[in-house]
Structures are given as structure tokens and as C-alpha cells.
Amino acid sequence: MIMDGMADRPIKELGYKTPLETAKTPNMDKMAKIGICGLMDPIKPGIRAGSDTSHISILGYDPYTVYTGRGPFEAAGVGVDVLPGDIAFRCNFSTADENGIITDRRAGRIREGTDKIAETINSMELEEGVEVIFKESTGHRAVLVLRGEGLSDKISDADPKHEGKAPKEVVPLEETAEARKTAELLNKFIQKSHKLLKDHPVNLKRIEEGENPANIIIPRGAGAVPHVQPFGEKYGLKPVCIAETGLIKGIGKIAGMDLVDIDGATGGIDTNLENIQDGILETASKDYDFLLINVDGADEAGHDGQMEEKVKFIEKADSIVGEIMKLEDVYYILTADHSTPISVMDHTGDPVPIVIKGPEVRVDDVEEFNERSVTRGGLCRIRGNNIMDILMDLMNRSTKFGA
């Protein structure tokens, strides 16, 4: 169970305590008491991990080889069945004028009708042998996947970043036929999207209502879908992922996990924690060996610099820990994927606390679960990609190396 971005730095307003040190967390503290604690560097000491690279590392993969960018995971997270070698992009629905100048990068923050627009884009014939797979995400966001032989993710972004400019010409970032071909295809895709969408019924209606039309698609962040050994095969465990955000769902998906959707899971501090708790308990009762759980609210509060909200959210999430802890014959690992300090409003490389509870762990004398108390724990300081090895070993499911 990963409390996204829960760890922090000491804050003056909290008497130089962290939000986790400040929050009343009787259940996490109980877990520290009956478990083994330590510090964990998601990647290695001082490295500022993304949620994606950290989860990849924690699941036992090497983020330096698996991680090609956010595109593939976002695409998988919104439900595209990506395949290794696919080139995936994050996209914006944007507004262009008749000269092709972007007048609104977010198309009036469009919320409805994007599924109809996506349908049209999916009908696009871009090039013989290259399949266009396009899917709307939330709001003005979407994903694009190009599937075919001879493609590359070594190409530049089309996003002009500012309004009043035309989409940037996509250029190859390396001197290969694949990169040149993909760059050309992207430029063609953008032009074709404008042609297909400028008179689209959804857009005609938007114009009538005084809204900016979503009449051009701007892709960015090309990433090749990595070859990933399915988690279930790698560890011989049947895995499932319970996550709120598309990014983490996409990681679960690409690792071959089943996904569980939770009603009202927003990924924010307003998320429905009761539904998440119910979803976890229901999933745990099924035929799974491994649950990857991500709760995102503390990270959002950190990004927004909301100190009190972060403390409160941690206190609320603590009750889920209390319920899950009641499950028997289970190894339970509680940690964060990185620190998201209130003062920084972004991820930092500070290590995070971790506790492992379950049969036969070497219980230490740590009595509280927070960034500082765990440094005297029995795990000392480990790395994210040690976790699966430790877990498999505790479960007596790993093979011996040697005689």
C-alpha cells in the first residue's frame, strides 16, 4: 500500500515536525509496533523519483530501462491495450484558427463530446501499415498510440507550450529512418486531425454555444511501450492493482495486473476513502496473491502546498490501514513512493518510511510510523527495488541462489 507523496520535510509551522509526524495515525503506529520498519529510497538516495519510476522500481523492474516516458503508462491507464513497441503520446484537445495558430491549448477545457471526437480520430487513415489508436482521457486530455513497424519515440514535441503559435514541427531526435518516419507521421497526424475535426458536429455545436472548438490534436511526450515481463510471471503471483490515477493504473496494466475501478476515487483529498477501503477488502477476498494499492491524496496536498489538508488526509487514510490490518495471513507493506514536501510542492529525493507487517518478521522497537522514528528500525535503509525480493523471501516463495 503506497500512500503517494506522504513523506515530507520538517515544517516550522508544525514545530519542525512533518505532516506524518503531526497527524494522529494510531493504526500506522500500531503497524510500526508490530512490524519491522526502515527507510526506503525509491530509486537511490537523493534521486527525485516520479510516481511512475518509483512504482516501477518497487515492483522490481529497473526504471532506467523500463521507463521511456509517461505516454505509455497514461495510454494503458485509460484503457488502451498497448503492446510492446507501440509509440504512445499524451495529447491535448486544442483550438486552432483558420491559419493553424493555436488559440487555446485546452479547447475551452472541454469536458463533453471528446468520446465522439476520439471516434473520428480513430477512423483516420494515416499511413499504410500504421494503426492510429486514440482515446480521450479526463477533460482536454487524451492519448495517442501509433502501432506499426519501423517507428521510434526519438522525436520532438509538437506542443508550442503557448497560445498564439502554430504547432511545432516535429523533428527526429536521432538520425534513423524510424525517427524520421515517425516525425513525418506526427506532422501529418496533426494536420489531418485539424481537417477531420474543424467541421465535426461536436465542434459546430461548441462554436454555436460560444465555446472554443476541439479542432486539433497536439501530441507530446513520445514513449515506446517497453517490453515488460508480466508481474504474475516474474513472481508467480496473481496480481491486481487498485489505483486512482491513470498513471498508476497504467503501470499496473503494463505489468499485466488486473485493474479495479473504485467509484468516487478522484485521486485528490476529496476522494471516497470508504469506497477505496471497501474495494480493497472485496478484492482481497478474491483469488489474488498480490494487491498494489495507491492512494493519491497526500501527494496532491503536497503539490498544492496544503499543509493542514495533508495532515488531515493522512489521518483519514489511517483508518483504511486499520481495517486492512485485520486481514490475516497477509504480508502488509506500507510506504510512500516519494516525498512531496509542502515547502517544495513537488517530489523530492528524501527517503520515505516503510513498515512490513506479517508472520515472522523481525519486529523492532519502533513505536511510531514516520520519517524519523523508522530510521532506528530493523530494515535500516533499503531501496525500492529490494521490496519484492524481501516480500517473496518472507513468503518463502523465492528460489535459493546457490546451494
Q: Which residues pair with 142 in a beta bridge?
A: 91, 136
Instruction: Work out whether 341 is an interface residue with a second copy (CB under 8 A).
Output: yes
Spatial distance between the Cα atoms of 301 and 315, rounded to a whole number of angstroms: 13
Which residue among 4, 6, 18, 310 contacts a second copy (CB under 8 A)?
18
Q: Does residue 154 touch a second copy according to CB under 8 A?
A: no
CA 82/CA 80 separation, integer angstroms: 6
Contact between 312 and a second copy by CB under 8 A: the answer reads no
The answer to whether residues 334 and 36 touch, using CB atoms and an 8 Å cutoff, is no
390 binds a second copy (CB under 8 A): yes
The DSSP-derived string for 86-144 is -EEEEEEEEEE-TTS-EEETTGGG--SSHHHHHHHHHT---BTTBEEEEEE-STTEEEE
> Given the complex with a second copy, which of 259 and 344 has the nearer CB atom?
344
Select from 211-219, 267-275, 326-334, 393-401 the region that touches a second copy (CB under 8 A): 393-401
Helices in 209-360 by DSSP H: which ranges? 231-235, 246-254, 273-284, 297-303, 307-324
Residue 348 sits in the site that holds a second copy (CB under 8 A): yes
Nearest distance, CB of residue 14 and a second copy, angstroms:
12
* Smallest separation (angstroms) from a second copy to the CB of 393: 4
Length of the chain: 403
Of residues 4, 244, 309, 371, which one binds a second copy by CB under 8 A?
371
Which of 89, 130 has the CB closer to a second copy? 89
Stretch that binds a second copy, among 109-117, 125-133, 325-333, 378-386 (CB under 8 A): 378-386
Q: Which is nearer to a second copy, 327 or 380 (CB)?
A: 380
Q: Which stretch binds a second copy (CB under 8 A): 76-84, 121-129, 280-288, 362-370?
A: 362-370
Least distance from a second copy to the Cβ atom of residue 385, Å: 9
380 binds a second copy (CB under 8 A): yes
State which of residues 13, 163, 346, 367 lies at the interface with a second copy (CB under 8 A): 346
Of 16, 97, 174, 261, the residue at the interface with a second copy (CB under 8 A) is 16
Nearer to a second copy, 282 or 389 (CB): 389
The contacts of residue 63 (CB under 8 Å, 6+ apart) are 43, 49, 52, 53, 54, 56, 57
Interacting residue with a second copy among 50, 226, 252, 302 (CB under 8 A): 50
Angle between helices 307-324 and 273-284 (to 10 degrees): 30
> Which 230-269 positions form the footprint of a second copy (CB under 8 A)?
247
What is the CA angle 334-265-343, rounded to 5?
A: 60
Residue among 92, 70, 89, 71 at smallest CA distance from 163 = 92
373 DSSP assignment: G
Whole-angstrom distance, CA of residue 18 vs CA of residue 10: 5
**Is the Cβ–Cβ distance between 320 and 291 less than 8 Å?**
no
For a second copy, which stretch binds (CB under 8 A), given 98-106, 153-161, 202-210, 367-375? Answer: 367-375
Binder to a second copy among 106, 194, 316, 372 (CB under 8 A)? 372
Near a second copy in 71-130, by CB under 8 A? none
Helix (H, G, I), strand (E, B) or coil at 220: strand
Please check whether residue 355 is in contact with residue 333, taking contact to mean a CB–CB distance below 8 angstroms.
yes
Binding flag, residue 192, a second copy (CB under 8 A):
no
- Residues lying near a second copy in the complex (CB under 8 A) are found at 9-10, 16, 18, 38-39, 43-54, 63, 67, 70, 247, 341, 343-344, 346-350, 360-364, 371-372, 375-383, 386-393, 396, 398-403
